């Protein structure tokens, strides 16, 4: 691929650019003057809605985490200074249905990308999107970079493997490889199956008279929820340091799913009694009861801190989904297929 005329312009390759974080990171890096490449896998129907608005500012290359040569080829084509490995099978319940595939995407995929970096250009700076799910059922609160892992799902176990491999490639080969231990982060671009978006979109459907109920599993689980655009800035900050390291990225606050639902319903002027139902099929084989992160290292070293707090996050997601449902009604886009995905 032809290199830009500008000698100072940095180049980044983002895997998972079609996902929530990939789209925000692409926007952020474009705003910083980067040449941004996104790696996408071949799909039978188009899947670029989160990055449509960037179509003339990003470039796409084909590749799949399962295919080692495609990663090598993506690095050869794009010659990046920085690689952000955001691609993964990210939905925890799916990881029990497809544990092997999750291990291959979310775990081994990291090693495949690290090997590609080592082989093509070991000077490339590498970011791995690790997860608070690695802490699982640890009894230590709040969780920091030294808290032991006890993952409670195939997803959490695969992420722990990817994290350790990132650390190992730094220690064994001197790669500039960083692991961001990211606590839950949300936005109006979150997939509809994750609980926050399921709630905000569900509330939008109820408010517009399309649905009557929101059906949920364990509403007592507690999470540390932040705002996704702020988390992608932390990823970039990690790769701008003099040395590579690992950082917890979190708000330091924990709230239950119940609190999220209550705030969302209140925002829309709806009540729990009329609209929320429990479905035992949504309860997981093993739950992570409580997560809360301590991001003081990121604050001290990177100068990163979260600004969007819980109530503001819920409100912005509900407001966005009220508008989203309204525009889907107007365009006729609300289809039976779309509704069945939000069980």
Binding residues for ligand NAP, per CB under 6 A? 15-16, 18-22, 41, 43, 47, 64-66, 86-90, 105, 129, 131, 182, 184-185, 191
Of ligand F7E, ligand NAP, none, which one sits near residue 86, judging by CB under 5 to 8 A according to partner kind? ligand NAP
Candidate residues 48, 60, 282, 301; the one interacting with ligand F7E per rule CB under 6 A: 282
Closer Cβ to ligand F7E, 171 or 279, answer by number: 279
Instruction: Write the interaction track for ligand F7E spanning residues 88-117; mark x where CB under 6 A is met and - where it is not.
Output: --x-x-------------------------
Q: How is residue 142 annotated by DSSP? A: S
Give 128: exposed, middle or buried? Use CB within 10 Å, 0-12, 13-18, 19+: buried
Question: Which residue of the chain is nearest ligand F7E when measured via CB?
Answer: 221
- The string of DSSP codes covering 186-253 is E-TTS-TTSHHHHHHHHHHHHHTTS-S-EEES-TT-EE--EEHHHHHHHHHHHHTSSS--EEEE--S-
Of ligand NAP, ligand F7E, none, which one sits near residue 18, judging by CB under 5 to 8 A according to partner kind? ligand NAP
Closer Cβ to ligand NAP, 131 or 308, answer by number: 131
| Binding residues with ligand F7E: total (CB under 6 A) | 22
Q: How far apart are the first and last CA of the chain?
A: 44
Q: 155 an active-site residue? A: yes
Q: How far apart are CA 298 and CA 171, in angstroms?
A: 21
**Stretch of residues binding ligand F7E (CB under 6 A), selected from 126-134, 168-176, 230-238, 302-310:** 126-134
Alpha carbon 7 to its chain centroid, in Å, reads: 31
Q: How far apart are CA 148 and CA 150, in angstroms?
A: 7
Q: 131 an active-site residue? A: yes
Closer Cβ to ligand NAP, 49 or 278, answer by number: 49
Q: How far apart are CA 76 and CA 71, in angstroms?
A: 9
**Stretch of residues binding ligand F7E (CB under 6 A), selected from 26-34, 54-62, 218-226, 294-302:** 218-226
Q: Does 184 contact ligand F7E by CB under 6 A?
A: yes
Q: How far apart are CA 23 and CA 287, in angstroms?
A: 29
Residues 198-235 as b or e (16 or more Cβ within 10 Å = b):
bbbbbbbbbbbeebeebbbbbbebbbbbbbbbbbbbbb
Residue 74's nearest CA partner among 60, 54, 55, 92 is: 60
Of ligand NAP, ligand F7E, none, which one sits near residue 103, judging by CB under 5 to 8 A according to partner kind? none
Of ligand NAP, ligand F7E, none, which one sits near residue 198, judging by CB under 5 to 8 A according to partner kind? ligand F7E
Query: Do the strands 255-256 and 222-223 form a parallel or antiparallel pair, or are they unpaired?
Result: antiparallel
Q: Which residue has the tokens 């690290």?
A: 114
Q: How far apart are CA 14 and CA 169, in angstroms?
A: 19
Q: Does 262 contact ligand F7E by CB under 6 A?
A: no
Q: How far apart are CA 237 and CA 310, in angstroms?
A: 23
From 27, 70, 95, 133, the catalytic residue: 133
Of ligand F7E, ligand NAP, none, which one sits near residue 147, judging by CB under 5 to 8 A according to partner kind? none
From 70, 95, 130, 131, the catalytic residue: 131
User: Where in 185-214 is the site for ligand F7E (CB under 6 A)?
Assistant: 193-196, 198
User: Which residues contact ligand F7E by CB under 6 A?
Assistant: 90, 92, 131-133, 183-184, 193-196, 198, 216-219, 221, 223, 257, 282, 284, 287
Active site residues: 131, 133, 155
């Amino acid at each position: 691929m032809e290199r830009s005329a500008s000698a100072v312009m940095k180049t980044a390759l983002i895997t998972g650019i079609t996902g929530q974080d990939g789209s925000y990171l692409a926007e952020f890096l474009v705003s910083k003057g980067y040449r941004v490449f996104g790696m996408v896998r071949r799909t039978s129907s188009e899947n670029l809605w989160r990055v449509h608005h960037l179509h003339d500012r990003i470039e796409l290359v084909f590749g799949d985490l399962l295919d080692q040569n495609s990663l090598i080829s993506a690095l050869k084509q794009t010659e990046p200074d920085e690689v952000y490995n955001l691609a993964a099978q990210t939905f925890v319940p799916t990881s029990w249905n497809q544990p092997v595939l999750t291990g291959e995407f979310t775990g081994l995929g990291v090693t495949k990308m690290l090997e590609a970096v080592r082989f093509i250009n070991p000077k490339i700076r590498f970011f791995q999107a690790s997860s608070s799910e690695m802490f699982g059922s640890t009894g230590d609160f709040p969780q920091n970079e030294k808290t032991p892992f006890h993952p409670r799902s195939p997803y959490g176990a695969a992420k722990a493997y990817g994290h350790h491999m990132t650390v190992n490639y730094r220690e064994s080969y001197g790669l500039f490889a960083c692991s961001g231990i990211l606590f839950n982060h949300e936005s109006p671009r979150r997939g509809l199956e994750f609980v926050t978006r399921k709630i905000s979109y569900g509330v939008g459907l109820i408010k517009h008279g399309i649905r009557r109920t929101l059906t949920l599993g364990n509403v007592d689980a507690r999470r540390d929820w932040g705002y996704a655009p702020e988390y992608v800035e932390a990823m970039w900050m990690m790769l701008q340091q003099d040395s590579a390291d690992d950082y917890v990225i979190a708000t330091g606050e924990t709230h239950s799913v119940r609190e999220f639902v209550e705030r969302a319903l209140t925002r829309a002027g709806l009540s729990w009694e009329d609209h929320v139902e429990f479905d035992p099929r949504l309860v997981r084989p093993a739950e992570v009861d409580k997560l809360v992160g301590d991001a003081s290292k990121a604050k001290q070293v990177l100068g990163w801190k979260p600004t969007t707090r819980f109530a503001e996050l819920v409100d912005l997601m509900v407001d966005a989904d009220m508008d989203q449902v309204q525009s889907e009604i107007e365009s006729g886009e609300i289809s039976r297929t779309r509704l069945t995905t939000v069980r």
